[in-house]
Amino acid sequence: MSWLLTEEHLEDLARGAAVLGTGGGGDPYVGRLLVRQAIRECGPVTVLDPAEVDDEALVIPTAQMGAPTVVFEKIPSGDEALTALRALERHLGTRAAATMPIECGGINSMIPLVVAARSGLPVVDADGMGRAFPELQMETFGVYGVTGSPMAVAGERGETSVIDTGADNKRMEWLARGITIRLGGVAHIAEYSMRGAEVKRTAVPRTLTLAHTVGRALREARERQDDPIAHLGEVLAGSLYQHLRVLFRGKISDVERRTEAGFARGRATAKSFDGRHELDLVFQNEHLVALVDGEVRCLVPDLVCVLESEQAEPITTESLRYGQRVTVVGISTPELMRTPQALAVFGPAAFGLRHEFRPVEALTTAES
């Protein structure tokens, strides 16, 4: 079902997107401010159900790319992603009928809303990762045959680059990352332009709506002083993200983080409150794996989400700090993202991890 997104939806949406962003996708607060400003200036945004997109309509996804550690310090003006969309339209010699997120997560659930508000285009309620991933070839669009090229990259001074690597989406990522680094570590992009029929075939559907529902559930649970994690589990059980597992409760004891090759890479460790158990997290922008006492408990592309213990507010990888009290949950990704083709592109091996993928619901039993 299509719906009209207003300023009132933003807080819940940003929170939910940050949960699904599995620690990445950029700071949700910055993104929320950008959308609020755009909606105040240009009016609300139509969120278009993928089933209602015309098969022939041209959809151009938009996003920000870069290391979240940099995004945090280098606030966009809000025009950059629209500049990228327009550059790609000029290159293609045609106009987009809608935009769409490429991933679900902090700022990248928000950027397409900014583009939509400022251009008057609707935004399709779907995305290409069903979570956040650090690299552009890691999109269900590409897994199922849409090429990322040609893609447009825009910088803060209005510079544009249109990259075309044919069917090689990994090469596209490599070149776009090079430009992003030269643009100061953050850029805005338009890529994977496709027809409505391809959206229906390749996108993870209704993730904007889900993010809003998740964010609202967490807020309402707080307001009622209920257990937010339990509410989150209930909401997800009715979605494509069926299984939620609590992996760990404890205190962050160590964070090692570096910005290298355009990414925020690192590890974090937490200790249980009784001091008897240890959690290890490895991340590249997003969390990739959670180990408890050395055993794998949740693996990419399943979602590892670090939530602040009291309010269940999601914590992004660049905001992890010593001493934070956290509840770490694992969430199963939609089946679309667990096929052999999908795992070849964004399964553990794609990140250099030696663990074979196993679903979170098989690795960790449900709490009673």
- Among the listed residues 38, 102, 146, 179, the single contact to a copy of itself using CB under 8 A: 179
First to last CA, the chain: 35
Q: What long-range pairs does 8-12 form, CB within 8 A, spacing at least 24?
A: 9/212, 10/35, 10/36, 10/39, 11/215, 11/219, 12/212, 12/215, 12/216, 12/219
- 4 Cα distance to chain centroid: 21
Can residue 184 be called a binding residue for a copy of itself (CB under 8 A)?
no
Min CB(82)–a copy of itself separation in Å: 15
At a CB cut-off of 8 Å and minimum separation 6, what does 8 contact?
Answer: none
- Among the listed residues 11, 159, 313, 361, the single contact to a copy of itself using CB under 8 A: 159
What is the spatial distance between Cα 68 and Cα 262, in angstroms, rounded to a whole number?
9
Can residue 178 be called a binding residue for a copy of itself (CB under 8 A)?
yes
Can residue 74 be called a binding residue for a copy of itself (CB under 8 A)?
no
As beta bridge partners, residue 248 has 328
The structure tokens 């009784």 sit at 274
Min CB(111)–a copy of itself separation in Å: 21
Q: How many residues bind a copy of itself (CB under 8 A)?
A: 23
**Inter-residue contact 12 to 19 (CB < 8 Å):** no
What is the spatial distance between Cα 37 and Cα 39, in angstroms, rounded to a whole number?
6
What is the spatial distance between Cα 310 and Cα 325, in angstroms, rounded to a whole number?
8
- Among the listed residues 11, 168, 278, 313, the single contact to a copy of itself using CB under 8 A: 168
- Among the listed residues 74, 91, 170, 195, the single contact to a copy of itself using CB under 8 A: 91
Closest CA to 154 of 191, 128, 195: 191
By beta-carbon proximity to a copy of itself, the closer residue of 171 and 201 is: 171
By beta-carbon proximity to a copy of itself, the closer residue of 91 and 338 is: 91
What is the spatial distance between Cα 319 and Cα 322, in angstroms, rounded to a whole number?
10
Region binding a copy of itself by CB under 8 A among candidate stretches 15-23, 94-102, 138-146, 166-174: 166-174
Min CB(121)–a copy of itself separation in Å: 22
- Pairing relation of β-strands 45-48 and 58-66? unpaired
The structure tokens 């059980």 sit at 237
By beta-carbon proximity to a copy of itself, the closer residue of 41 and 164 is: 164
What is the spatial distance between Cα 200 and Cα 192, in angstroms, rounded to a whole number?
14
Can residue 183 be called a binding residue for a copy of itself (CB under 8 A)?
yes
Can residue 181 be called a binding residue for a copy of itself (CB under 8 A)?
yes
What is the spatial distance between Cα 199 and Cα 206, in angstroms, rounded to a whole number?
11
By beta-carbon proximity to a copy of itself, the closer residue of 87 and 229 is: 87
By beta-carbon proximity to a copy of itself, the closer residue of 129 and 151 is: 151
Can residue 87 be called a binding residue for a copy of itself (CB under 8 A)?
yes
Give, as ranges, the residues between 256 and 315 that touch a copy of itself (CB under 8 A): none
Length of the chain: 368
Min CB(353)–a copy of itself separation in Å: 25
Give, as ranges, the residues between 92 and 111 that touch a copy of itself (CB under 8 A): none
- Among the listed residues 157, 276, 321, 354, the single contact to a copy of itself using CB under 8 A: 157
Tokens of 362: 């098989």
Closest CA to 198 of 120, 97, 110: 97
Min CB(288)–a copy of itself separation in Å: 24
Min CB(265)–a copy of itself separation in Å: 19
Min CB(115)–a copy of itself separation in Å: 19
**Residue 248: exposure state from Cβ atoms within 10 A (0-12, 13-18, ≥19):** buried
Per CB under 8 A, residues contacting a copy of itself are 87, 91, 155, 157-166, 168, 171, 174-175, 177-179, 181-183
